[in-house]
C-alpha cells in the first residue's frame, strides 16, 4: 500500500469491518493481523462474562483505524 488515505488503506479498513485483522493481512502485516484477530476472538469469548461487550467495539474500531492510518516505509 502506498500512503495514508490511499485506496489500499480504505479497502483494508473496510475488510476489518468483517473480521478484525483481515485488513492488516491485506496490507501484508502478518503479526498485526494475528494480534488484532486474537484480540477480537478473546473479546468475543469474554462476552459471556459481560466484559466483551466493552472490548468488542474497541477491537473493531482499533483495527479499522490502524489499517486506515498505516503508512508503508
Q: pLDDT tens per residue, the chain (73 residues)?
A: 455 556 788 899 999 989 999 999 999 999 999 999 999 999 888 888 888 788 888 899 999 999 998 887 7
Q: Which of 1, 52, 45, 44 is nearest to 19 (CA)?
A: 44
Sign of the CA dihedral running 31, 33, 39, 45: negative
For the chain, give the number of residues.
73
Amino acid at each position: 500500500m502506498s500512503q495514508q488515505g490511499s485506496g489500499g488503506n480504505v479497502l483494508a479498513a473496510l475488510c476489518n469491518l468483517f473480521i478484525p485483522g483481515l485488513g492488516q493481512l491485506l496490507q501484508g502485516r502478518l503479526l498485526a493481523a494475528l494480534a488484532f484477530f486474537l484480540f477480537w476472538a478473546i473479546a468475543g469469548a469474554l462476552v459471556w462474562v459481560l466484559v466483551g461487550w466493552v472490548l468488542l467495539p474497541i477491537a473493531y474500531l482499533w483495527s479499522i483505524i490502524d489499517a486506515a492510518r498505516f503508512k508503508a516505509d
